[in-house]
Amino acid sequence: MSKYHNIMKAANLTVEKNRMKKLNAYQLKLIMAFLMLLDHLHYIHNFISPDMASVFTIISRCVAPMFAYFAVEGIIHTRDTRKYCLRLFLWAGLMFVGNAALNNIFKIFSKSLSVSEQAHLYTNNNVIFTLALGVLCIILLSEGKEKKSVVKYGFVTGSVICFITGFLFSEWGSVIVPFMLVTYFFRDRKILRFAGYAIIEIIAILLPFGEPLYIIVFPFILLYNGERGKNTLFTKYFFYVFYLVHLWLIAIVNFIVMTR
| Structure confidence by residue, pLDDT tens digits, 52-76 | 999 999 999 999 999 999 999 999 9
Residue type, 79: R
Give the burial string for 185-199 (b: 16+ CB within 10 Å, else e).
Answer: bbeeeeeebeebbee
In a domain, 11, yes or no: no
In a domain, 241, yes or no: yes
- pTM, to two decimals: 0.90
In a domain, 6, yes or no: no
In a domain, 17, yes or no: no
Domain residues for the domain of 165 are 22-259
In a domain, 187, yes or no: yes
In a domain, 7, yes or no: no
Q: Residue 198: what pLDDT?
A: 97
DSSP, residue by residue, 161-220? HHHHHHHHHSTTHHHHHHHHHHHHHTTT-HHHHHHHHHHHHHHHHHSTT--GGGGGHHHH
Give the chain's domain count.
1
In a domain, 229, yes or no: yes
| Structure confidence by residue, pLDDT tens digits, 1-44 | 455 555 555 555 555 555 556 899 999 999 999 999 999 999 99
Beta bridge partners of 224: 23
In a domain, 10, yes or no: no
